[in-house]
Structure 1
Amino acid sequence: MKLIKSQDSRAVRLLQTDGEVIEALQVLRCASQRMRRMGVPYWQPRELGLGALIGRRICGELIGGFENSKLCATMQLHLHDTEFWPEAIRGDAIYLHKLAVAERHARQGWGDTMVSWAAVFAVRESCSRLRLDVVPGALERYYELLGFQPVGEVRSARAGGTVIKMERLLKM
């Protein structure tokens, strides 16, 4: 994955150091706490461990959004998702997970910036779809505004109920 500049002072790229991973972990943990306060206990604490995130960085799956060299947002991109999309054909989609924006950068367009970067990356990887899963509620509507459509539901013990599978078709 290469650096793709999205705006003059913004850049989205792979996280490169363990220090950046620690910053991403802080963003994820704070976002998880905000979600829990909204009644959406989606990410479990065991999913937000430093070792797992370092592994994601090493695999080239942990992405950061930076403004003036400061981490503002993070997400994970995967080539497959056997938990929520076991029937999917490999190589047809990129799976977006754990998109989180630092609270001080909320409502500044970072979600759109990160999803747009993921879409460009997916097309570069010859994938025609960008997929994600979300618990029903406000985030579902948010992703619809970013061009995703619900395409199914699946029960998830980890998420504590139903998860909406969403997909954004990409122009190749």
Structure 2
Amino acid sequence: MDSEEPPNVRVACSGDIDEVVRLMHDAAAWMSAKGTPAWDVARIDRTFAETFVLRSELLVASCSDGIVGCCTLSAEDPEFWPDALKGEAAYLHKLAVRRTHAGRGVSSALIEACRHAARTQGCAKLRLDCHPNLRGLYERLGLALLQKS
């Protein structure tokens, strides 16, 4: 990916599943090695990704190098936001970027696509839950801390 080539963000299809699962596993391993525990990779498998693909809730960022980033965007999140009103927010999870493309605007493109999708769905907010070590990234991308748990 040239530094000038912006990633194309789209809803994932079934043909993306294997690459997305590898990307999420690689991202989780990198985060763990840096001291930021990530999601449980044992739960990230074809079935996990397929569930999000079938609901059109898995986004991928791609360029000439293939898929370079991904995330999920859901209409509800009973695990982390059980008391939220339905439709007040969209919920971003599992943001992952291929290490060779870190710092090239992939996270920014994914988050902007999530913001746009949330607005399109009538949601005023885009929410996520993250490890404290990742707060700086999300704040640099224009998100704000709502509460500490």
Regarding TM over 0.5, the answer is yes
Report 1 or 2 for greater relative contact order, CA contacts < 8 Å, sequence distance ≥ 6. 2
- What pairs up with 1:15-164 in 2 under 5 angstroms? 15-17=12-14, 19-68=15-64, 70-137=66-133, 139-154=134-149
Question: How far did residue 9 of structure 1 move?
Answer: 5.5
Question: How far did residue 87 of structure 1 move?
Answer: 1.2
Amino acid at match of 2:145: P
In structure 1, distance between residues paired with 2:106 and 2:145:
22
Identity %: 29
CA-based RMSD = 1.5
In structure 1, distance between residues paired with 2:128 and 2:85:
15
How many positions carry a matched residue from both structures? 146
In structure 1, distance between residues paired with 2:50 and 2:18:
9
In structure 2, distance between residues paired with 1:9 and 1:150:
27
Higher share in helix: 2
Higher share in strand: 1
Question: How far did residue 46 of structure 1 move?
Answer: 2.1
In structure 1, distance between residues paired with 2:51 and 2:95:
17
Structure 1 gaps of 5+ residues are 1-6, 155-172
Question: How far did residue 50 of structure 1 move?
Answer: 1.4
Say whether the 8 Å CA contact 1:15–1:64 is kept in structure 2.
yes
Structure 2 gaps of 5+ residues are none
Question: How far did residue 153 of structure 1 move?
Answer: 2.6
Amino acid at match of 1:11: N
